[in-house]
Amino acid sequence: MSESQLWHEVDDYFTDRLLPDAPDDALEAALRDSDAAGLPAIAVSPLQGKLLQLLAQVQGARHILEIGTLGGYSTIWLGRALPADGRLISLEFNPEHAEVATRNIARAGLDKQVEVRVGAALDSLPQLADENPPPFDLVFIDADKVNNPHYMEWALRLTSTGSLIVLDNVVRGGRVADPANTDPDVVGTRAALDLIGSHPRLSGTAIQTVGAKEYDGFALARVLA
Ligand code: SAH
Ligand code: DHB
Ligand code: MG
C-alpha cells in the first residue's frame, strides 16, 4: 500500500469513528452540487471542517470571516459553530462559486447568519473595514495563496486580542520548504508565514496534515494585545 493510500484509509477510519453523523445531508449536498456545477474539489475534508468548527467553538466565536468560499463547504462547518446571533461573512471572487455557495448555505439553514460577498477579496476587505464591523473572533484564509500576506494584514486589522487566524494549504506537498520552488502561491504563503513569525502582535504555529487532502497543513496565529 502506498503512503497516500494509507493516509486515506486512516482518514476514512477517523471520519467513520469521529463523525458518524457527519457529513450530514446539507454537507453532502453542498459537495454534490458543487461538483455538479463544475467547481474544483478542493474544499476542506470533513475532519478538517470539524477542526475549523471546534476551533470556532473554542474561540466562542460570534463573528467569523472567511476568505475563499468556493461552494460553502467550510462555510457551513464554521457557520454551525455560531450562536443564533452570530455572523459569518465569506468573500468569494467567482460569482458562480458564490451562487452555488449561497444555495448550499441556505439549504443548511444558515442564510440568516452567513453572507457571501462577491468580488476580489482585496476589494471587499477595505469595504468591509469601512463598515467598522465588530472584531472577527476567527478568520479562515483559503483563497488565492499569492495574496496570503495581504490577507494576513487585513485579518490583523479586522480582529482583536484573542482572535484566531487560520491559514490553509501552507504545506502543499512540501513545496513551501523547497528553495527551488518560486511559484507565486508558494512565495505568498512563505511571506504570510514570515509575517506570523515576526509580527509582534501574532503568536503562531503550523501543523502538517495528511489524509484526504494529501500532504498539506494549516498555520494558526493568535492575535496578541
Ligand atoms: N474554503 C473553501 C475552499 C476555498 S477554494 C472550502 O474549504 O470549502 C478557494 C476559493 O477562493 C475559490 O472559490 C476561488 O474562486 C476563491 N478566490 C480566488 N481568488 C480570490 C480572490 N482574489 N478573492 C476572493 N476569493 C478568491
Ligand atoms: C487546493 C487545495 C486547497 O485547499 C485550496 O484552497 C486550493 C487548492 C488543491 O488541492 O489544489
Ligand atoms: Mg484550501
pLDDT tier for residue 23 given thresholds of 50, 70 and 90 = confident
Largest CA distance in the chain: 53
Q: How far apart are CA 215 and CA 32, in angstroms?
A: 24
Tell me, what's the pLDDT at 122? 98
Whether the per-residue pLDDT at 110 is higher than 90: the answer is yes
Please state the pTM of the whole predicted model: 0.98
Q: Indicate whether 159 pLDDT > 90.
A: yes
Q: What is the CATH number of the domain that holds 8?
A: 3.40.50.150
* Region 37-52 average pLDDT: 98
Residue 123 has pLDDT above 90, yes or no: yes
Tell me, in angstroms, the distance from the centre of ligand 3 to residue 123's CA.
20
Distance 144 CA to ligand 2 centre (A): 9
Note the pLDDT tens digit of each residue in 180-223.
999 999 999 999 999 999 999 999 999 999 999 999 999 999 99
Structural domain including 206 reads 3-223
The cell for 122 is: 482585496
80 alpha carbon to ligand 1 midpoint, in Å?
20
CA of 2 to the centre of ligand 1 (A): 30
User: Grid coordinates 471542517 are at which residue?
Assistant: 49
The number of folded domains in the chain is 1
Does ligand 1 have an atom closer than 6 angstroms to the CB of 74?
yes
**Nearest-CA residue for atom 9 of ligand 1:** 143
Mean per-residue pLDDT for 43-64? 98
Percent of the chain predicted with pLDDT > 70? 100
Cβ of 94 below 6 Å from ligand 1: yes
Average pLDDT, rounded, for the chain? 97
Distance CA 70, CA 74 (A): 9
